[in-house]
Amino acid sequence: MKALLLIAIAVAVFAAVPLVVHSNVVLNFLVVTLMIALAGQGWNILGGYGGQYSFGHAAFFGTGAYVTAILQVEYGVNAWIGFAAGIVAGAAVGAIIGGLAFRAGLRSSYFALVTLAFAEVLRILASVAPITGAGVGLLVKLDLRAQSFQFQSRAIFYYVILALVAVSLVIAQLLERSRFGTWLIAVRENEDAAMALGVDAFAVKLGAMVLSAAVTAAAGCFYVQYFLFIDSGIAYGTWISIEALLTPIIGGVGTVFGALVGALVVKSLGEGAKLVTGDVPGLDLMIYGAVLIVVIRFAPRGLVGAFTDARERLARRFAAPRPPVREAVRG
């Protein structure tokens, strides 16, 4: 209950921003940040709670993006339906990759490499297949109407992505309190021990992969509606795989707010550095690397984890000396 309240407060704070800030630059920054947070939260479900570190979440982001775009551009399907179909398609790709990788018993770095390989194969296929626009990419026709999932005002896009992020936060919170989530965490901690306690590790990991893929795919679907363009390098490029895993790792793996906090920190630093130095190419990646090293060295459980630890340490420091004092008074 307390955790849901925290989510509500966080979302309310974000929701108030467009009422105060009217700068399109700031709103654009926040929209992109929230989109990365959403992709990262998808990764966090599988990687953070399930301990299965994927290096290829681009496979889901890209599939969501392409399905949304192709259905509209090639088949004239309504954008909202395309959006939903993109999420379902992303989940299906998650089921296929997860089914193959987990059935083969791939763990840790082997799993990471196989997911990376799948994403790269999809990128190469998308860069040559006619239906994905091959090397040129796909442009979604400009049609600024709500029924086309396009909005004149950036603020509305902002509220759409905020709503999606809110849903992803609630999903993580429900995961922490559910049997499925408990089993998923058990698999992360020790797969053999979990199986001995009746956990179907394969089914649990596969379920997490599908859910994870669906959330990250939603970010891809949103990308297409927001930028109205997609190509193979954006959809299936390693940039999104990296940002999807970087944000929850920096923010705090296996925590509800990890991906959101991580996205805010990473994106702020990246944009801030660009403002100071001008647009030096690759600078944001260097900053990501530096932040990652610092976080892994000093806060291996991410910023949210470090915050929780610090709060507990403070609580202990203040709680500990009390009993003796009371004793003394009584004596």
Partner 1 sequence: MVESLLSVEHVSRRFGGLLAVNAASLSAPTARITALIGPNGAGKTTLFAVISGFLKPSAGRVRYGGEDVTGEPPHRLARRGIARTFQIVQPFAGLSVRDNILVGAHLRHRARAAALAVAEEVGREVGLGDMLDRPAHTLTVAGRKRLELARALATEPKLLLLDEVLAGLNPSEIRDVVPVIRAFCARGIAVIMIEHVMQAVMSLAEHVFVLAEGRIIAEGTPAQVVADSAVVEAYLGHGAAAKVRSANVH
Q: Is 195 an interacting residue with respect to partner 1 (CB under 8 A)?
A: yes
Of 12, 125, 197, 293, the one binding partner 1 by CB under 8 A: 197
Helix-strand-coil percent breakdown of the chain, rounded to 5? 80, 0, 20
Q: Is 82 left (phi over 0), alpha (psi -120 to 50) or beta?
A: alpha
Q: Which of 142, 16, 152, 122 is nearest to 59 (CA)?
A: 122
Stretch that binds partner 1, among 10-18, 109-117, 127-135, 197-205 (CB under 8 A): 197-205
Per-residue contact flags (x/-) with partner 1 for residues 265 to 304, judged by CB under 8 A: ----------------------------------------
Stretch that binds partner 1, among 11-19, 32-40, 173-181, 291-299 (CB under 8 A): 173-181
Q: C-alpha 316: how far from its chain's center? A: 33
Q: Is 249 an interacting residue with respect to partner 1 (CB under 8 A)?
A: no
Q: Which of 181, 172, 176 is nearest to 260 (CA)?
A: 172
Residue among 48 and 62 whose Cβ is closer to partner 1: 48
- Identify the sign of the CA torsion 270, 272, 273, 279: positive
Q: Is 322 an interacting residue with respect to partner 1 (CB under 8 A)?
A: no
Residue among 166 and 185 whose Cβ is closer to partner 1: 185
Stretch that binds partner 1, among 17-25, 111-119, 187-195, 314-322 (CB under 8 A): 187-195
* Total chain residues near partner 1 (CB under 8 A): 19
Q: Is 179 an interacting residue with respect to partner 1 (CB under 8 A)?
A: yes
Query: Which residue ranges make up the site for partner 1 (CB under 8 A)?
Result: 177-179, 182-183, 185-186, 189-190, 192-201
